[in-house]
Amino acid sequence: MRASVLVLATLLLAGCHATFFGAVNLVQPIADVVARPDNVFDPAHGLALDVYAPPHAVHAPVVVYFYGGDWTTGKRQWYRWIGEALAAQGIVAMIPDYRHWPAVRMDGFLRDGAEAVRWARDHAAEFGGDPSRLFVMGHSAGGHIAAMLATDKQWLATVGMKPRDLSGFVGVAGAYAFLPLDEPRYVAMFGNSPEEQARSQPIDFVDGDEPPALLLQGEEDTEVFPSEAISMEGRFRQMGEPVELKLYPRLGHEGLVFALGPLHRTAPVLRDVANFVRALCGSRFSGDGYSRQDCPLPRDRR
């Protein structure tokens, strides 16, 4: 494991993302899962998603995972290791494309995210998933996308859905409250005026109408500061929404997400995600709130 970590660190510092993630996928043990790549969900824009399912899955919970990359880079194929890690926990994992800046601004990648969630709901049963047990999850910029879909009703409304159609939201060092914008590219993505920029902040859309949230954050993160997850937790609690915040000592921005896969022994991140999904995958919304109904997932085999 130590040698593997050193190899990964060297490749990351070298800046070759394709080679780096190829190495991650080699380091990650190949799980006993069924992989079905290249499912087109938006032919007009050439967007597809990869599905990783447990063998013989029946009514399994479904997680749509949005990768990070500063809204400017990334490929779904790089994150096979996350799909396999989730599938090994009894979850049908779907990892979609989304368009990046500068090809699109915020409205573009959020619409792409909504289309991916709609496709996941409509096709979940084909992979042994249950469309009524649907979660969104993401890291960093992907955590922002997942959070916006779970809080700002306008995005899922474009595909005939609403946040309460989701059983839960998992943010992995997500960007939830990052104003003021101090870099030109972020101004270009999210807008020049205060009104435009306010549209980009998930924390401002939490109004008591969201699914339960699990917020995961490394205490040593210097890219997305822990204060964002702490503020998001406070906002959920203020609005009476179910929320759980997990802070991991000695983990930074990348270490947190890699703890889902090749660095899983550094922190119980994967276990915490599986436990959250297990507790809520049978949840249903009623006028009195979300009911909790545990459903069985395989025990962590790592």
The whole-angstrom separation of Cα 265 and Cα 225 is 23
The whole-angstrom separation of Cα 164 and Cα 136 is 12
pLDDT one-digit tens code per residue, 70-96 = 999 999 999 999 999 999 999 999 999
Contact 235, 218 (CB under 8 A): no
pLDDT one-digit tens code per residue, 124-172 = 999 999 999 999 999 999 999 999 999 999 999 999 999 999 999 999 9
In the prediction, which pLDDT does 280 show? Answer: 84
Contact 260, 269 (CB under 8 A): yes
CB within 8 Å of 42: residues ≥ 6 apart? 112, 115, 116
Residue 171 forms beta bridges with which residues?
Answer: 138, 215
The whole-angstrom separation of Cα 4 and Cα 249 is 22
pLDDT one-digit tens code per residue, 183-233 = 999 999 999 999 999 999 999 999 999 999 999 999 999 999 999 999 999
Closest CA to 271 of 149, 173, 166, 170: 170
Q: Who has greater pLDDT, 36 or 24?
A: 36
pLDDT one-digit tens code per residue, 227-273 = 999 999 999 999 999 999 999 999 999 999 999 987 778 899 999 99
The model's confidence at residue 5, banded by pLDDT at 50, 70 and 90, is very low
Q: What's the whole-number average pLDDT of the chain?
A: 88
Residue count (the chain): 302
Contact 277, 63 (CB under 8 A): yes
**Model confidence pTM above 0.85:** yes
In the prediction, which pLDDT does 263 show? Answer: 73
